[in-house]
Amino acid sequence: MAEIIDGTAVAAAVRAEVAQDAAAFQREHGRRPALRVVLVGEHAASQSYVRAKARAAGEAGIDAETLARPADLSERDLLALIARLNADDGVDGILVQLPLPDHVDEGAVIRAVDPAKDVDGFHPENVGRLVLGEPTLEPCTPAGIVELLRRTGVETSGAHAVVLGRSNIVGKPLASLLLRRGLDATVTVCHSRTRDLPALARQADVLVAAIGRAGFVTADMVKPGAAVVDVGINRVDDASRERGYRLVGDVDFDAVADVAGAITPVPGGVGPMTIAMLLANTVEAARRRAAV
């Protein structure tokens, strides 16, 4: 049976460290690191995520405020709001919750955020630094995955890491992080058009599932003893639950746990780490801005 990688416990440790760093920043600069979260519309999942982020930030000693706007907010007005936050010297981090309404160009919004305040790590300038291996604000979910691997002793140096999914949010940046000196993995990125994907997955010492399909990774796709990281969050109907559904990952957890050496659960694996790394990015952004 695989060792369960407890993302909730690791995230709690990261958040405790962030709280210490935030307190030190406040002592030195007379104010708390400041995060502003922009929420457009009433997407239920987005509202839930934003509440969790704001609560965690407050607990870590970060000045967090959510700026909620209606779904019909124009792209022009959203860009104007971002410009005001960019110009506000009291704001260290800006997060625009995705997805945005269809009439808004997400790319334009991402590019509008000051790279120095881009705590999501999505701005092209920060992405470029990431690919080049330069210090930058790293995307929260990939950074959280790397932190999970480091803190739970999963060996990456010389290991073959296979990433299922090529999104700009997880797959691509994670591949860049795993290739960095100090992690030194050999990385294969697979996607929906990859030929014989199961065979490639079976080669992985570290297998990351970020493909967005419930139970996609089955036991016969996993190398015995591999570390399996499940990034997926999928709703499946479950009449036995009060809310009528339950959350599952991209991995068939019970079957794969019998084969893998270590595995992250859903929930309680990667998700808590994403929020923890957002908080870490906010404090890091505050420090960098104060040092300029």
- Return the sign of the alpha-carbon dihedral for residues 62, 167, 48, 213: negative
3-state secondary structure 28-94: HHCCCCEEEEEEECCCHHHHHHHHHHHHHHHHCCCEEEEEEECCCCCHHHHHHHHHHHHHCCCCCEE
DSSP string, 156-203: -TT-EEEEE---TTTHHHHHHHHHSTTT--EEEEE-TT-TTHHHHHTT
> Which tokens go with 182?
């100090």
Helix (H, G, I), strand (E, B) or coil at 146: helix
Q: Is 21 exposed, middle or buried (0-12, 13-18, 19+ CB in 10 A)?
A: buried
**53 in catalytic set:** yes
Contact of 49 with 78, CB cutoff 8 Å? no
Query: Which of the residues 120, 205, 230, 252 is marked catalytic?
Result: 120
Helix (H, G, I), strand (E, B) or coil at 234: strand
CA distances from 57 to 136, 215, 281 (A): 20, 32, 11
Query: Which of the residues 53, 117, 172, 223 is marked catalytic?
Result: 53
Query: Do the strands 63-69 and 34-40 form a parallel or antiparallel pair, or are they unpaired?
Result: parallel
> Which tokens go with 226?
């591999």
Query: Which of the residues 21, 97, 117, 205 is marked catalytic?
Result: 97
Binding annotation: 165-167, 233
- Return the sign of the alpha-carbon dihedral for residues 249, 253, 255, 257: positive
Contact of 230 with 253, CB cutoff 8 Å? yes
Binding annotation for NADP(+): 165-167, 233
Q: Is the peptide bond before 224 cis (omega within 30 degrees of 0)?
A: no
**Residues recognised as catalytic:** 53, 97, 120
